Chains A and B, each alone.
Chain A
Amino acid sequence: MSLITEVVVPRYGIAWYPWAVQYFFLIALSYCSLWLAAPGLIFGKKTWMPTARVALLACVTTTLVAPVALLADLHQPLRFWHFYGYPTPWSWMSIGSFLLPMYLGAVVLLAWLTWRPALKARSYEADGWFSRIAGWLAWGNWQAPRALIVLIGLAALVASLGIMIYTGFEVAVLKGRPLWHTNWLPPMFVTTGLIGACGMALVLNRVTGLRHPETNRQLMAIMAIACVVTGFIALTWFLDGVNSVSGSVAAALASIDESPAWRSTAIEGSLAGVLLAVLAFVMRRSAARRKAMGWVIGLLALHVAWMFRWVVLMNVQTIARNTAGFNDYYIDFGSYGLLGIIGIFGLWLTAILLIDLFVPWREATENPRSNSVITPEMRTRSLSTSASSPVSTPASHEGATSHG
């Protein structure tokens, strides 16, 4: 036996900053929220429409903000056009750079078509700037056929599968980081993303004042299933690799063995995950508990989904690959650290508030004709109602803050 000391230990900083965590978090929430919106919005299931409304709001806002975080993680953000100037079909990141705008376009188009009838309706109300902006946003006096919404929705779903696959394998192909180099990582991103998306929809269902009981029930059921599948995948990952000398599990175990920080993170992460699963199962059973505790579980779910990405993307980068010890990482206060994290959440909140202010998203239905107020008779009726009752301002701009 011999004792080895590495006298000179160079420090290797992390290469992907917390921006990457924000991107992977938001994009997973985005595509999973789209799936939550799909039954009501795309496949026309009436009972899923209230869930689809909040899920669509979550999907659009996260889809808009996620690419900002991705761009910020580049050290040369102004060179982003190089992705399109030099397409590289053998690089997952390049493939993603083409998928992302397609997905974003499809989601924004889907949301716009879904919200248009309600926007049109608002444009006929005498509500000053809100009506005027709603008129501009609705853009013209026409109705999109239901088939078009279904078609755009299906295109968005296909693109979301592409996003799901590329974000997973972009990380999993890196054999330079053994902990990432496992095929179990991409499905973990998906299931924890679904947990987070359910959580976000639960929180939105509460803070927007909708408080739809059916939405709580559906989301908790999905979340409970996602928790079970996540646990199953984690267990399979562990059993699959526990006997191998090198690889993902061995790297994880070595890190937990060597680093107190990793130990505490592993304990905290497991506890939060198990707590979430137990709570989701217990609360799911009673309507009163779902109503009271839905948003708390939602916040915990968001925490689990975010922490999973933080551990996977940030903590793994602190594992020294060739030198002794760990490359300690402390969150910087500047834009590469805390400011970046808070800034992205702030941007997301801004997106939610702007949409809530200018788009009557609560009135969205799966059928574009059902609440379209574009005939002249209906227009007069709408005007007279708003004139006769001064409190007829749509619920959307008294919403978010008062019910928070």
Chain B
Amino acid sequence: MDHIRRSLLGQLARLSAGAALVPLSSVASAGINDQPARREGDPSKRYGMLIDLRQCIGCQACTVSCHIENDVPMGNFRTVVSQFEVQQQDTDNMATFMLPRLCNHCENPPCVPVCPVQATFQRQDGIVVVDSDRCVGCAYCVNACPYDARFINEKTQTADKCTFCAHRLEAGLLPACVESCVGGARVIGDMRDPDSEISRLIDKHRDELMVLQPEMNTLPQVFYLGMDERFTTKPEAEPGIWDILGTNDKELGYEFDH
């Protein structure tokens, strides 16, 4: 028997004998807080987003359209644009900096392994979703996410987050935030397809792209172009004002006194 055939048979034997042990070994090999296997979604795709901050004017159209599309309760955000005023102290020059935030659909999402009932999981196309019928609302994932991308939805009393508008992607539509972006700053696409716009942009700007909190080792898949490194972690900033009114004209936010 030649070498190739022998090794092939060996492989087959391992496969057949091992098949019975697969469920057991998957439990044994999943160490505590390790990433579980991905499920659902198209395994041939890997969705990601590139945000060209040079195009963002901070109009919050994405924030509003996301709220409408996904019925997000007032005061919570699946996406929001952080708006900064930067004053150069020696010259007194003012500049603004806009930073859209959303779920980073990390390659190593810290929110997934903590879920005690596997309600939150990563699809094979990389999108991190929550099964709101299974979620017990323990909020463990809300605390696990370093990006504040998750919240407990007061209407459903379960964990809620950005899904890259998976329901729209499946219907061949763009996510609400991408669709409504007036500057065309947000680009979403399949990063496994070398001809997709996002793949071409990533190739072109590979050295300039930044992600949020890279030191967390979560491997975010939302990439920022035109980013200032000071803003990749919590910026050393003074808080401004936040007040939005609910339907009953009650203030949902609060004002910092400083």
- Name A residues whose Cβ lies closer than 8 Å to a Cβ of B: 1-13, 15-16, 73-76, 79-80, 82-83, 85-86, 88-95, 97, 169-170, 173-177, 246, 317, 320-325, 328
Contacts and interface: CB of A to CB of B under 8 A. Distances in A.
B26 to A, nearest CB: 10
B146 A90 contact: no
Contacts of B239: 5-6, 9, 323-325
A325 B256 contact: yes
- In this complex, the member of A15, A79, A82 whose beta carbon has the largest number of chain B beta carbons within 10 angstroms is A15
Given A2-B88, A92-B32, A175 B140 contact: no
A10 B244 CA distance: 10
Interface in B117-144: 117-119, 134-140, 142-144
28 contacts: A2-B88, A4-B86, A4-B235, A6-B239, A6-B240, A9-B256, A11-B253, A74-B136, A74-B138, A75-B158, A76-B157, A79-B136, A82-B119, A85-B117, A86-B117, A86-B119, A88-B117, A91-B116, A97-B116, A173-B114, A176-B216, A177-B143, A321-B147, A322-B147, A322-B148, A323-B82, A323-B234, A324-B238
A324 B230 CA distance: 13
Contacts, number: 185
Which DSSP category, helix, strand, loop or mixed, fits chain B's interface?
loop
A88 B117 CA distance: 6
B175 interface: no
A10 B79 CA distance: 11
Nearest to A82: B117
Interface in B225-258: 230, 234-242, 253-254, 256, 258
Contacts of A82: 117, 119, 134, 136
The 8 A-B residue pairs with the shortest CB-CB distance, nearest first, are: A75-B137, A325-B239, A15-B139, A15-B142, A93-B116, A94-B116, A4-B237, A324-B239
- In this complex, the member of A13, A88, A97 whose beta carbon has the largest number of chain B beta carbons within 10 angstroms is A88
B118 A86 contact: yes
Interface of B: 27, 30-34, 36, 75, 77, 80-90, 101, 110-111, 113-119, 134-140, 142-148, 151-152, 157-158, 212, 215-216, 230, 234-242, 253-254, 256, 258
A149 to B, nearest CB: 33
A67 to B, nearest CB: 14
A6 B82 contact: yes
Contacts of B86: 2-4
A73 B118 CA distance: 18
A91 B31 CA distance: 9
Contact of B33 (A9, A86, A92, A177): A92
Contacts of B140: 91, 93, 170
Contact of B87 (A2, A73, A246, A324): A2
Given A91-B116, A93-B138, A4 B240 contact: no
B83 A6 contact: yes
A176 B237 CA distance: 20
A94 B36 CA distance: 14
A88 B116 contact: yes
A177 B111 CA distance: 12
A73 B138 CA distance: 7
Nearest to B157: A75
A196 B6 CA distance: 65
Contacts of B110: 174-176
Given A73-B138, A88-B117, A88-B118, A6 B143 contact: no
Given A74-B137, A176-B143, A324 B235 contact: yes
Given A15-B152, A176-B145, A4 B238 contact: yes
B215 to A, nearest CB: 7
Contacts of A83: 116-117, 136
Given A90-B36, A176-B144, A177-B143, A6 B136 contact: no
Given A5-B240, A6-B237, A75-B158, A95 B77 contact: no
- In this complex, the member of A13, A76, A176, A323 whose beta carbon has the largest number of chain B beta carbons within 10 angstroms is A176
Contact of B238 (A5, A16, A86, A321): A5
Nearest to B99: A322
Contact of A4 (B84, B151, B258): B84
Contacts of B80: 8, 10
Contacts of B237: 4-6, 324
